[in-house]
Structure 1
Amino acid sequence: MKPTEFPSPLAHRGPVPIPEGYASLSTAELSDALDRLGLPGSALGIGTVGAAVRTLGRAFTVRYEPVDLVPGTVGDYIDEVPAGSVVVLDNNGRVDCTVWGGILTEVASRMGLAGTVVNGVCRDADAAAQFNYPIFSRGRFMRTGKDRVQVAEVGGAVSLGDVRVRPGDIVLGDADGVVVVPHEREDEVLAIALRTRESELRIIEGFRAGKRLKDARTEFGYHTLQRVQK
């Protein structure tokens, strides 16, 4: 593990800015755009914890593994996370021990991090509300991960179930869950999401103006909005 070496685009102290427009989008809109491009990205089974229900930032990735004969560290990587990042923790979906808790929540909040997403569980859920810090996980469980798991890699590819996440990918979380956008395709995904939103707005405007929903959907191509492009 080399905790201070991060692949591009996190090769410097601050994350690459996220394209304008992402801040206004929902996970549903991004999921539809990813479907249109035939890309994965919707993280099944990961939902919000606490009161803050939205996060947006570039991924800072950490992968865990079962503890070795000599226990390793659990959360020391936090000092290296650039402000504005979303911490993405891959604990292989384990629900028997945590890799995020109250101390990390307070530290992350005071460091200006955008949020945390855990392929596994977290604890000290009250701290998320106390510090208004967005956390997304597979659930909550109080048992510590110390002496049960350890950091295996910082700054490599990780998994949120069936979604692969790499440093610098865009991570958006809201009340519906978490979506990951590959950084190489972020402009394309954004453009499609905005076009889809415009089409759906026209559909509802048509309905409000007196059209039958079926006719408005047909006029603005509702049934093909998410269909994979040929």
Structure 2
Amino acid sequence: MSDQQQPPLGDDVFELLSRVSTSTLATQLFKKGIRQPFMVGLSPVGDRFDGFVGEAYTMRFIPAREDIDPLDDPYRTGNVLQWEAVEQVGRRQVIVVDSRGDISAASAGDMLITRAMNRGAAAFVTDGALRDGHAVSEMGFPAYAKCITATTRPASFHVAELQVPIGCAGVAVYPGDILVGDRDGIIVVPRALAAELAAPAADQEALEQYLHSRVRGGESLWGVYPPDESTLNDYRIWQQEQQRTDIERVEA
């Protein structure tokens, strides 16, 4: 089933997932038997964004070959699927590139990433390299890669397919899967599990922030992390107080 045929996810799912760290989602997915959903080795380009949530729009690279990918004018007469992807990607979609972990050339540069951003894309992710690292880092747009290079994509890569299952940084990604990124990296949530996991993950995130505040305040781990029933009861009381405070603030 392609992403166009899949039922849309509600805004509430994206909103809840936007509150959740990749670590929390890894725990939730582990409970569902998903052992390794994190894209190991990819880093955010720049520090002007905190994260993103979006649906996978996939792109698969294979090595370039001289008789298929001419050097004279590759952008006008050769492989232009990369352009098609950037012109098709929509709001809340993430361009995810299977570069086979190869950093010999770039998966994209600031021009294509700028166009994707203007199209409403949520992020650009590759397990290869990006060009124009400084320019990309100044954009404030979520972009993740293994490293930065100046070498142009046609020097090494042919874009073989769009919107097919791929592997990116060792993780299977299907079109329409949900990617969640933060400053630590990116995690892949199977689309079929996204709505089911969103609320429990947000609840876990809120609880762990509370527990962290207690450990940071000097308390021992015993009974606090993981929380025993007494700590959970304290948390419920704290939640009620926070909710009451929020209501009073709105009514003031």
* Same fold, TM-score > 0.5, yes or no: yes
Q: Distance in 2 between matches of 1:157 and 1:113?
A: 19
8 Å CA contact 1:63, 1:153 repeated in 2: yes
**Structure 1 equivalent of residue 23 of structure 2:** 28
Q: Distance in 2 between matches of 1:199 and 1:41?
A: 22
Partner SS for 2:175: coil
8 Å CA contact 2:81, 2:161 repeated in 1: no
**Structure 2 equivalent of residue 134 of structure 1:** 142
Q: Aligned-pair distance for 1:37?
A: 1.8
1:32-51 aligned at under 5 Å gives the runs 32-39=27-34, 40-50=36-46, 51=48
1:27-176 aligned at under 5 Å gives the runs 27-39=22-34, 40-50=36-46, 51-68=48-65, 69-71=67-69, 72-73=79-80, 75-76=82-83, 77-176=85-184
**Structure 1 equivalent of residue 236 of structure 2:** none
Aligned length, in residue pairs? 214
Partner SS for 2:91: coil
Alignment CA distance shift 1:149-1:83 (3 Å)? same
Q: Aligned-pair distance for 1:28?
A: 1.6
Q: Distance in 2 between matches of 1:209 and 1:129?
A: 35
Q: Aligned-pair distance for 1:74?
A: 5.6
Partner SS for 2:150: coil
Q: Distance in 2 between matches of 1:109 and 1:216?
A: 42
More helix per residue: 1 or 2? Answer: 2
Runs of 4+ in structure 1 off by over 6 angstroms are none
Mind listing any 5+ residue stretches in structure 1 that lack a counterpart?
1-6, 222-230
Q: Aligned-pair distance for 1:11?
A: 4.2
Q: Distance in 1 between matches of 2:171 and 2:160?
A: 19
Q: Distance in 2 between matches of 1:136 and 1:17?
A: 26
Equivalent position amino acid for 1:10 in 2: Q
TM-score, normalised to structure 2, is 0.76
Q: Aligned-pair distance for 1:208?
A: 7.3
Q: Distance in 1 between matches of 2:213 and 2:4?
A: 42
More strand per residue: 1 or 2? Answer: 1
Q: Report the aligned-residue RMSD.
A: 2.5
Partner SS for 1:105: helix
Partner SS for 1:97: coil
Q: Distance in 2 between matches of 1:210 and 1:52?
A: 31
Q: Distance in 2 between matches of 1:161 and 1:93?
A: 7
Equivalent position amino acid for 1:70 in 2: I
8 Å CA contact 2:9, 2:195 repeated in 1: no
Q: Aligned-pair distance for 1:23?
A: 1.4
Partner SS for 1:116: strand
Q: Distance in 2 between matches of 1:140 and 1:9?
A: 30
Q: Give aligned-pair identity as a percent.
A: 26
Equivalent position amino acid for 1:73 in 2: V
Q: Distance in 1 between matches of 2:183 and 2:210?
A: 24
**Structure 2 equivalent of residue 228 of structure 1:** none
**Structure 2 equivalent of residue 200 of structure 1:** 208
Q: Aligned-pair distance for 1:210?
A: 7.7
8 Å CA contact 1:43, 1:179 repeated in 2: yes
